[in-house]
Chain A
Amino acid sequence: MLVSTKWLADYISIKGLDPAELAEKITRSGIEVDAIIDRSQGMKNVVVGYVLECKKHPEADKLNICQVDVGEEVTQIICGAENIAANQKVIVARPGAVLSGGIKIKKAKLRGEESNGMICSLQEIGIEGKLVPKAYADGIYVLPSETQTGADALEILGLHDTVLELGLTPNRADAMSMLGVAYEVGAILSEDMKYPEISYNSSTEVAENVLKLRVEDLDANPMYVAKVVKNIKIGESPLWLQQRLMAAGVRPHNNVVDVTNYVLMEYGQPLHAFDYDRLQTGEIVVRTARQGEKITTLDNQQRELQAHHLVITNGQEAVAIAGVMGGANTEVHEGTTTIVIESAYFKPASVRQTSKDHNLRSDASSRFEKSVDPNRVIAAAERAAQLISELAGGEVLQGSVMVDELDKSQKEVIVSPDFINNRLGMKISFEEMTSILSRLKFEYEAANGLLYIKAPTRRQDIQIEEDIIEEIARIYGYDEIPMTLPEGETTPGGLTPYQAQRRIVRNYLEGAGLLQAITYSLTSKELAQAFALETAPITELLMPMSEERSILRQSLVPHLLEAATYNLARKAESVALFETGSVFLGETSEGLLHEEEHVAAVITGKWLDHSWQGERKTVDFFVLKGIIEGLFLKLGLDKLTSFEQAQVDGLHPGRTAKIFLADKPIGIIGQLHPTDQKKRDLKETYVMELNLAKLLTFSLEPLLYKAVPRFPSITRDIALVVERAKPAAELEKVIRGAGGKLLKDVRVFDLYEGEKMEQGQKSVAFSLTYEDPQRTLTDEEVVKTHSKVLKALEIEGNAQLRG
């Protein structure tokens, strides 16, 4: 809503506040002023000129040499506008003038002819092109002939004005009008406002005799008022009206349309004017549309209607979409002599739906859909009749044609002053409260310690006690509310164990050298299930904004890989990212999705670079595996987890493992398949993803101290020759099985697959630690157990002891 402070002064005194001060007060007490617009924009030295003579430039077809009376003198100005002519009053920027955008005007010579200034279009003095009346859209603006030559043109055009742009929240539809804003300012400044006076002479002819009205859907249209004005003469509106419309962001058209728009801005009540003769039938019928019925609206679009759309008809065909836009067939035109002015109340939900269906939002629909003031429907119609009779010379027919079933009563809210103070934590006196209600023009009665408040119908947002609390508090001032903290029982607060553990996981991964990433949950069909630990039917958006963001992800890996590609393309030497986030795995019985929190990582490029001491390392499988093992250790899951060679789409078939927790799958780790790697412009890259929720909810025994060994341990190393495909973990399992209680630890300390081995074989060396917490082991015992281990390896493990 654009509020011209000059226009506002018609209704309310702003007590000499400057616009910035007024804006601050409005913002602090209820409605945010988004911008303060100085319409003069620092322009100066722009006057009204009278074109005495206008002739073609001998050297240039498109230029005219004009002799212009600018008050002080007659001066020559060259003008290129097509619509320039002698005897026009025009806007002249004198030499030394500053125009919109800081453009400075100087004396100049154009093709040998002197030009002392510039004749201006409205755009050149800072009016948006879309607001300039169509007749002047491509040329200079022509002022009314009675305008005083030499006068300050900015003053004449009302540009010494400041406009406040209000950012209205949906509850404050009452402020979508000048009168509404005047009420608000009046309450803030404790000032009474002036209403426009409406009076005009009616003709003796009675409106009801020339127009019939029938409303078939009283629910969607409980009130319809029509006035008929005869013998009007369509023309340009007076300058004051055009100015005000442009200040309010509305383009002037002709006197009738301009009046309907003016009253819309003034009262917040949308009006529509029909050409009575084009209506043809002398009848208005409001009904729901027939499915598939067509109408061409004022914007020359043919629109197909549905059965739930409300239309205004002439009894036969639609002449307007109710509350949204009029039809082209009954549009007021240059030759119009008789008009029907419509002022109505259309049900908000109906207009909202219709405007949405047609993707058509107008100044009218945006007001109807938030409910207009039921008590202004008639007043607005009368105001329009008055202005049209004044400005278009018409005769207003007597009376109105009306259907009125609208409830215009005020909502009563009963509230106790104590309740208000308790909720606010304040002590506002009864007198102060009632004074605020008076300033807001809310009627009230006090009885039994309660306030019986009647909110005016323009404030449809006032429905409950809390609404009154807000009104009192905002006018009293939020700065006056004291600062306290909630009383009563204190609670300890904190993270749940799950949340605390999740932070530990993040901190661990950061400490291990990874940066935390946050990627999008929405992805493409192609990526939705890639690398997923488990897949479920995909979940698609009904109305995605792009294919790329149309489906909920089932793995975190694809977007991490995208981030890796992004970084490598920007010359990053190494990328090591992790993310914790949800994946979405199909519907639950409740209709929601199975959301599971996962953690994933991607590493590529250099891992360690300490080159001056000769230590450089690029990432490999075991870097990432080591990080995962460290994580399991941190979570106390190291003894419960295992890795098994596996095949996963998109990963290297020989360098991929599934990860198990207590024998249940919990994650994957692997090298990106070389084909995928190439496709994604990556170097050797490793990824992992774990089901974080399962990791963090696995229940563990409480941590208990175990005695530090008091007796020495004995270590035996063995080197085994096995088939190359034999997993070390299997051998370890055999060793542990045979080693029994005395075997404390098994560790791989060497791996050899070189040329000294027979084809298809490898050597794996283990270090075994034997220990008994109760006593010192004898050699004999160790030898006995160790030979058991060796035997088991030979038989169960198919392993030969090496040399």
Chain B
Amino acid sequence: MELQLQQLKEEAISKIQAASTVKELQEVRVAYLGKKGPITDLLKGMGKLPAEERPKMGTLVNVIREEVTAFLDERSILLEEVAIQQQLENESIDVTLPGRPVKTGNGHPLTRVVEEIEDLFISMGYEVAEGPEVEKDYYNFEALNLPKGHPARDMQDSFYISEDILLRTHTSPVQARTMEAKGGEPIKIICPGKVYRRDNDDATHSHQFTQIEGLVIGENIRMSDLKGTLSVFAKKMFGDDREIRLRPSFFPFTEPSVEMDISCFKCGGSGCNVCKKTGWLEILGAGMVHPNVLEMAGYDSKRLSGFAFGMGPERIAMLKYGVEDIRHFYTNDVRFVSQFHRTEV
């Protein structure tokens, strides 16, 4: 019996060593240690042994069983490692092949500019106000100190749909509406939106375009506040080293009126083709709210004052991204729009 056991053990060990895969090893395990294997048979057959031999034989069987198990485990670790090596080799891929594309789109460059400006002024405490694109002549012109017959409101330049209703020519009617609604209270708003003018579409004109305007009304709002606000805007929008300058201008709804230039962000002011050698770029129009505009909306122009400014996101996008033709913004060529995929902060 003992001899038989030793033989069995050696046989098992040599089979273990011969096994070259995890699967073969598993077969050996089943063959020798399984429920129908010889060792189990031996253990079952122990009942036939004399009682005094049973403990000794039992111990012996267990020892051999443990030894075989140890060999099995050792071999198993080895073979598993080999198997994993093999698997890794088989599974190796060409990591330079293109990945599975994630379909993503992106916003329109004008939306991008508008939202950037919105966020910038929101951080300075402004709210975003919007209004109808089809407006009353009153809000578009009259309330803005452009009475009927004023030279700056030629029928030829606006899309009227009736005597009294037109497609707004600027976003200023939103200011007029907000003032009227606020009933004399302070205001701090930014008004983005689509506007329309009776222009032929060409490289620099579009019958539909966007505008974004700002309005601040309060006690003791000064022209220096306008200048300071515009400077913050210019630096945040176009870079910290931007300088601004104001030039006198004329708008019926502001007095004094100014135009703001920023030092050219391309050349820093030394002159280049972007700034037409002047070192300056005209960015926006602004001014102190005309007392007539305040009074018409029910504000006491002696007690309260305000400033307003307005700019064209198309122009800003054209300058910022070097776009040469305004029509690109409305053609919706995917080769154009998809260039604005990248985010900038």
Q: A residues engaging B (CB < 8 A)?
A: 27-32, 169-172, 349, 352, 356, 369-370, 422-426, 464-467, 469-470, 473-474, 478-479, 481-496, 499, 503, 506-507, 509-522, 539-545, 549, 552, 563, 566-567, 570, 572, 575-578, 581-582, 584, 591-593, 595, 607-610, 612-613, 615
Q: Report B280 CB to chain A, min CB distance, Å.
A: 10
Bound together, the chains give a CA A434 to CA B224 distance in angstroms of: 22
Are B291 and A466 within 8 A (Cβ)? yes
Contacts A32-B247, A591-B136 known; A493 to B330 CB distance under 8 Å?
no
Contacts A486-B216, A592-B165 known; A570 to B335 CB distance under 8 Å?
yes
Contacts A512-B105, A567-B334 known; A520 to B208 CB distance under 8 Å?
yes
Q: Report B41 CB to chain A, min CB distance, Å.
A: 43
Are B128 and A495 within 8 A (Cβ)? yes
Are B151 and A370 within 8 A (Cβ)? yes
0/1 string, B101-113, CB within 8 A of A gives 1: 1011111101100
| Chain A residues with CB under 8 A of B106 | 510, 515-516
Are B134 and A595 within 8 A (Cβ)? yes
Are B152 and A483 within 8 A (Cβ)? no
Among A469, A473, A591, A615, the residue within 8 A (CB) of B100 is A615
Among B132, B136, B149, B223, the residue within 8 A (CB) of A349 is B149
Q: Which of B240-255 contact A (CB under 8 A)?
A: 245-250, 255
Q: Report A470 CB to chain B, min CB distance, Å.
A: 4
| Chain B residues with CB under 8 A of A469 | 255-256, 288
Are A171 and B250 within 8 A (Cβ)? yes
| Chain B residues with CB under 8 A of A495 | 118, 122, 127-128
Are B125 and A518 within 8 A (Cβ)? no
Sample (26) of A-B pairs whose CB atoms are under 8 Å apart: A352-B149, A356-B154, A466-B291, A484-B222, A486-B218, A488-B219, A493-B123, A496-B127, A496-B128, A510-B106, A513-B103, A515-B334, A516-B105, A516-B107, A516-B108, A522-B196, A539-B134, A542-B161, A570-B333, A576-B103, A578-B105, A582-B194, A592-B165, A593-B132, A610-B98, A612-B98
- Chain A CB within 8 A of B58 CB: no
Q: B residues engaging A (CB < 8 A)?
A: 97-98, 100-101, 103-108, 110-111, 115, 118, 121-128, 130, 132-136, 149, 151-152, 154-156, 159-162, 164-165, 167, 186, 188, 194, 196, 198, 200, 207-208, 216, 218-225, 227-229, 231-232, 245-250, 255-259, 288, 290-291, 305, 329-335, 337-338
Are B224 and A425 within 8 A (Cβ)? yes
| Chain B residues with CB under 8 A of A30 | 248
| Chain A residues with CB under 8 A of B107 | 506-507, 510, 516
Question: In the complex, which of the residues A465, A485, A520 has the most CB atoms of chain B within 10 Å of its own CB atom?
Answer: A485
Bound together, the chains give a CA A566 to CA B337 distance in angstroms of: 13
Chief secondary structure at chain A's binding surface: mixed
Bound together, the chains give a CA A464 to CA B288 distance in angstroms of: 13
List of 9 A-B pairs having minimum Cβ-Cβ separation, nearest first: A425-B224, A513-B103, A425-B222, A169-B250, A470-B256, A483-B228, A563-B332, A478-B246, A466-B255
Bound together, the chains give a CA A707 to CA B24 distance in angstroms of: 50
Are A566 and B161 within 8 A (Cβ)? no
- What is the count of residue pairs linking A and B with beta-carbon distances less than 8 angstroms? 249
| Chain B residues with CB under 8 A of A517 | 108, 332, 337
Are A483 and B231 within 8 A (Cβ)? yes
Are B331 and A566 within 8 A (Cβ)? yes
Among B97, B104, B207, B305, the residue within 8 A (CB) of A612 is B97
| Chain A residues with CB under 8 A of B258 | 478
| Chain A residues with CB under 8 A of B221 | 486
Q: Report A683 CB to chain B, min CB distance, Å.
A: 15
Are A613 and B133 within 8 A (Cβ)? no
Are B333 and A567 within 8 A (Cβ)? yes
| Chain B residues with CB under 8 A of A499 | 128, 130
Are A521 and B246 within 8 A (Cβ)? no
Question: In the complex, which of the residues B130, B194, B256, B258 has the most CB atoms of chain A within 10 Å of its own CB atom?
Answer: B256
Contacts A466-B291, A518-B332 known; A424 to B222 CB distance under 8 Å?
yes
Q: Report B276 CB to chain A, min CB distance, Å.
A: 11
| Chain B residues with CB under 8 A of A610 | 98, 100-101
Write the chain B residue with the least CB distance to A552. B134
| Chain A residues with CB under 8 A of B335 | 570, 572
Contacts A28-B247, A593-B134, A609-B101 known; A541 to B159 CB distance under 8 Å?
yes
